[in-house]
Structure 1
Amino acid sequence: MTPMLHHLLIAPIVLPLVAASIMLLMGERWRRVKIGINLASILGLLALTWYLLQQLDQGHFGQDGTAVAVYLLGNWPSWLGIVLAVDRLSLVMVLLSSALGLAVLVYSVARWDRAGAHFHPMLQFLLMGLNGAFLTGDLFNLFVFFELLLAASYGLILHGSGSMRIRAGLHYITVNLAASSLFLIGVSLMYSVTGTLSMADMAAGVGSLASQERMLFEAGAAVLGVAFLVKAAVWPLNFWLPSAYAAACPPVAAMFVIMTKVGVYSILRVWTLLFGPEAGESMLFGADWLLYGGMATIVFGAIGILSSQDLARMAGFSVLVSSGTLLAAVGFAEGQVTGAALFYLVVSTLSVAAFFMLIELVERGRTPAAAMLALTLEAFGAANPDPVDGPEVEVVGVAIPAAMAFLGLSFVFCALLMAGLPPLSGFIAKFALLSAVLNPLGLQENSQALATGGTAQWIMLGLLIASGLFVVISMTRSGIRIFWAPQGRVVPRLRLMEAAPVGGLLAVCIVLTFYSGPVMRYMDDAARSLYAPQEYIQAVQTAPLVVRSEGGQP
């Protein structure tokens, strides 16, 4: 691999940083130029990440043909400097966030980017923080990128103003600041024991810790885990999420769907590295908390979906069900289960993000009086007299052909994907997940599924089926009220750039249905590498420094 190609590993962080910095120097009158820069940056991220994914999977970028590529910033060794470690899972997450960013950008250009200042640079800073969190190889820089993406999200959640957004935004900021404090405390405790912040170096030394040091290390890991679980919205630490996501403007809420997945990714990355088979007495530390905490989150989210009368809150609770499913799957500590969970992660993120953007288009065709006709809405006072989304009262867009057909079909596709019903990729993801959980012959000897004696598998089966049923009931009820009940509905006026992102995300989910075989194989490979972290550890620890010649060239 040439030095020029090697520098592509840091490009997913540098590209949005440069784009955001340039846009910050421009005034709001340069809106079209900002849109162009934002679009070019995200398209560049997509192309670059896809290229890296292909090359890494073929063994062209990794050290000695492995599927792990390492970038040493400043040419310092990994134990002393900052390191980026790129593998299959991290590139999938970067590709997912970039695809979501493209859809959000196109949707927001219709009008939402004008609802407040600095929308475009904040979106780029958010992408930079997400990509950095997915690619970093040490805990401190994971904290740095967490704070960067959170700082951008603080501005985005308040985008568009309104008392409801401010109130929900303050809750969101307070909770995440508390989680950041726990993050620092946990990392400090772990550093005091191991003397390193590199996750690979830390993982290599966990098995040899003395008894007292091990207790302190596990205490630090527990505190760090709480910080991750807050960001992953596990029950009972997720009280803030449905209100915050429902209050955010539609494109921001769609982008925020991946925020909980950052917490899940961090848990999966750190937990499999530090508490795998080489961890000695600390092996599978905290697996019960992940398993049963995820199941409790599924229960909470499913009940919230069934009880929600507002579509935005329903979507927020769907995020909780998705997060709980992923955490419970990680808690089983088995590669095949995790591989299916990664496929589910992609499908659920895309479908719920599409649903958040679809909600505003669906509600646009309903008059304010129509929203009050449902007796349940009147009984529970769900109507909001405070119009936090000022632009929604305007006449927007043009009446595109078959607008109602598009909205109805998109609503049905979202319902099928979120409930996990056939024939779409949501069903394939849930079926693969349950098949892996219920197959005792495929489970590893140290998996948590075998440790529970089969009880956890059947509980997981019941929860996934029940949560899907609750989604079907709630979506059917809302669909009847919106599309079939006589409410004096008018044909909504939609812009093509608003309909295209929703259709695009759903189209990706449909494509995943047809290519589920190769995608699942890729996810299984990514999961197996997580539960056999020796390749990752060795690649980071043995990453060679760049040797420069006398002329200063590598």
Structure 2
Amino acid sequence: MQHLSIFPVLIPLLFGALMLLPPISRNIQSQRIASIVGTLLLLVSSAFLLYQVNNQGVQLYALGGWQAPYGIALVVDKVSSLLVLLTSFLAFTIMLYAVAGQDKGGAYFHPLFMFQIMGINGAFLTGDIFNLFVFFEVLLIASYALLIHAGGKQKTQAAMHYVILNLVGSSLFLFGLGILYGTLGTLNMADMAIKVGQLEGETATLAKTGSLLLLVVFGLKAAMLPMHFWLPKTYASATAPVAALFAIMTKVGIYSIFRVYTVIFGDNAGELANIATPWLWPLALLTITMGSIGVLASPSIRTLSANLVIVSSGSLLACAAINSEAATSAALYYLVHSTLASAGLFLLADVVARQRGKAEDRFVHSRPFVQPKLLGFAFAISALALIGMPPLSGFVGKIMILQATQSNAQTMWVWPLLLIGSLAALITFSRAGTTLFWRHNGTMATSAEPAKTAEIISIAMLLLASPVLVLLGGDISEFTQQAAFYLHDIQSSAYDLLPGVAQ
């Protein structure tokens, strides 16, 4: 099982390439079977990988036998293995939904989907910042094409904004990498964590510039204010499977901030210690505020879902600003919850839109649903989870974040904003539920169609994850605490990954 660490990257790469070749590329049914098999294999291998890491400790995989810091290294610790498993589960459930018919909107949906999963998993696993850039580009190129899946003027316009912003971000990423490589002579994260504390004077100032450029790039990916404005329109215009998959895209930026500014520019970084914290505090709080305003102003379920992603990003950024093991543990739990709950709401919005005729998922009066009880129950579960009400995982996640605040100043800022964000979600979900399920006129739309079995199963798996996260809350929180401890312990996360380097 020594090669298990590369399976989350290798499986989607091989299946994506396979689906580009005839005869599979010409047969949608063959592509569907390949995608289901591929995502299922990915899910199983990711579960085994997490089990292996939990029992045997951190796995360092050196491609080609070239050891770090000179070779390409994949680092599988409890943080990355958890996020890879989350991505794999999300991919499997979304693919179940897509094969029911949503994959017919354009060519190459299945291989593009696989390549994006490959990029996301690679970003979580890499131990080198340059390879983080490479995997960023892989997932972004796939997302450009997926965003315009099923066509349309609105999708094309949103895609243009998304592409231009990310091209600018990629350029800044390269500038930042160049500066850091010039000052440190390495881009391996563990090696950088050791060397950055030795910088002084002008060299430290130069490295500070490079690190802040990276913060801008990661903030763009994470939808951190003021770089959040692209997200609502982009996510709302995407097809349901694509929008649901995009729910984890912001988490790649969040993860990068935690990894880089805890391991490399953390407490042991000398003059550059905790360099991101003064910037993260105000921007995280403002991101929660703007996301909450967007939630109140949302005219449809898809826009509401997109704005809730911004609120969750702000909450996770606040945990990064607190910069403690407790806050990181809370962030990991809340990240899993918010990703699955948001993805479920994006898929539910699509089913709602198809059953309401021209009203789609907008909060206006419309014809009655084909499946009112089923959709109403699913909407209620989704609302409770995303508002953060007991007894679901959103409540547990927010309680963990609130408990992680360490000082009176942190409590004074974080508690009111998180609670106000929950209140905004409660108001909007109440208004939306009343309009969608109680205020009908006319007869059922002739074009309305019931949700297919695969679609119901997919949504149910995502929504039922919330009570499961509560039932297994003790074990999961213990796991996230151990993951947070490793992330904050430079002795473990740096020296242990560089054999032969003297401590």
The answer to whether the superposition gives a TM-score over 0.5 is yes
Which secondary structure does the structure 2 equivalent of 1:352 belong to? Answer: helix
Alignment deviations for residues 161-209 of structure 1 (CA, whole Å, 9 cap, x no partner): 0000000011111111111111100010000000111111111011111
Please give the residue correspondences for 1:343-422 in structure 2 after superposition, counting only pairs within 5 Å: 343-368=333-358, 374=364, 403-422=371-390
1:299 aligns to 2:289 (yes or no): yes
- Alpha-carbon separation, structure 2, partners of 1:181 and 1:410: 42
Q: Is the 8 A contact 2:11 2:38 kept in 1?
A: yes
Picking from 42, 47, 51, the partner of 1:50 is 47
- Match for residue 485 of structure 1? 439
Check if 1:208 corresponds to 2:198: yes
Q: CA deviation at 1:277?
A: 2.2
Match of residue 109 from structure 1: 99
Question: 1:96 corresponds to which residue?
Answer: 86
Amino acid of the residue matched to residue 272 of structure 1? T
Measured after TM superposition, the shift of residue 513 of structure 1 is 1.2
1:500 equivalenced with 2:457 (yes/no): yes
> 2:299 matched to 1:309?
yes
After superposition, the C-alpha distances for 1:419-478 in whole angstroms (9 at most, x for unaligned) are: 1001111101111111221xx4xxxxxxxxx4xxx2222211001100001001001111
Task: Summarize deviations over 1:113-153 as a string: whole Å, max 9, x none.
Answer: 11000000001000100111000011111000000000100
Structure 1 equivalent of residue 226 of structure 2: 236
Q: Alpha carbons of 1:471 and 1:176: their partners in 2 closer, same or farther (altered >3 Å)? A: same
The match for 2:401 among 433, 451, 456 is 433
Question: Does the CA-based 8 Å contact 1:90-1:135 persist in structure 2?
Answer: yes
Looking at structure 2, the residues matched to 140 and 405 of structure 1 have their Cα atoms a distance apart, in angstroms, of 50
Instruction: Please give the alpha-carbon distance, in whole angstroms, between the structure 1 residues aligned to 2:224 and 2:6.
Output: 31
Tell me, which stretches of 5 or more residues in structure 2 are unaligned?
none
- Residue equivalent to 2:309: 319
Q: Which has the larger radius of gyration?
A: 1
Q: State the alpha-carbon separation in 1 of the partners of residues 18 and 72 from structure 2.
A: 25
Are 2:24 and 1:31 aligned? Answer: no
Look up the match of 1:20: 16
Secondary structure, aligned partner of 1:85 = strand
Secondary structure at the aligned position of 1:207 is classed as: helix
- Shift of the alpha carbon at 1:371? 7.9
Asked if 2 retains the 8 angstrom alpha-carbon contact of 1:113 and 1:119, the reply is yes
Q: Could you report, residue by residue, the CA deviation over 1:322-363 in whole angstroms, capped at 9, with x for unpaired residues?
A: 101001111101110110111010001100100000001112
In structure 2, the partner of 1:550 is: none
Residues 28 and 117, structure 1, Cα contact 8 Å, conserved in 2: no
Partner SS state of residue 70, structure 1 = strand
Matched residue of 1:81: which SS? coil
Residues 500-552 of structure 1: CA deviation (Å, up to 9, x unaligned): 111111111111111111101101111111111221212221189xxxxxxxx
Secondary structure (helix, strand or coil) at the match of 2:127 reads: coil
**Counterpart for residue 394 of structure 1:** none
CA distance in 2, matches of 1:373, 1:352: 18
CA 1:107 to 1:374, structure 2 compared with 1: closer, same or farther past 3 Å? closer
Q: Does 1:471 align with 2:433?
A: no
In structure 2, what is the equivalent of residue 385 of structure 1? none
Instruction: Name 1:549's counterpart in structure 2.
Output: none
Equivalent residue letter for 1:45? L
Note the aligned Cα RMSD (angstroms).
1.8
Q: What is the SS of the residue equivalent to 1:6?
A: coil
Between the aligned partners of 2:331 and 2:363, the Cα distance in structure 1 is: 40
Q: Deviations over 1:14-48 (max 9, x none)?
A: 11111111101136532111111111111111111
Separation in 1, partners of 2:372, 2:142: 35
Return 5+ residue gaps in structure 1 as ranges: 60-66, 378-397, 441-449, 545-554
In structure 2, what residue type is equivalent to 1:137? G
Question: Is the CA contact 2:197–2:270 (under 8 Å) kept in the aligned structure 1?
Answer: yes
Matched-pair contact (CA < 8 Å) for 1:419–1:472: yes
Aligned length: 495
Partner residue in 2 for 1:542: 499
TM-score (norm. length: structure 2): 0.95
1:277 alignment partner, SS class: coil
Distance 2:362 2:484 in 1: 48
Q: Percent identity?
A: 40
Shift of 1:488: 3.0
Q: Distance in 2 between matches of 1:251 and 1:44?
A: 19
Question: Could you say which residue in structure 1 is the equivalent of 2:280?
Answer: 290
Higher RCO (CA-CA < 8 Å; seq separation 6+): 1
DSSP-derived class of the 1:278 partner: coil
- 1:49 and 1:369 mapped to 2: Cα distance? 40
Return the match for 1:10 from 6, 12, 15: 6
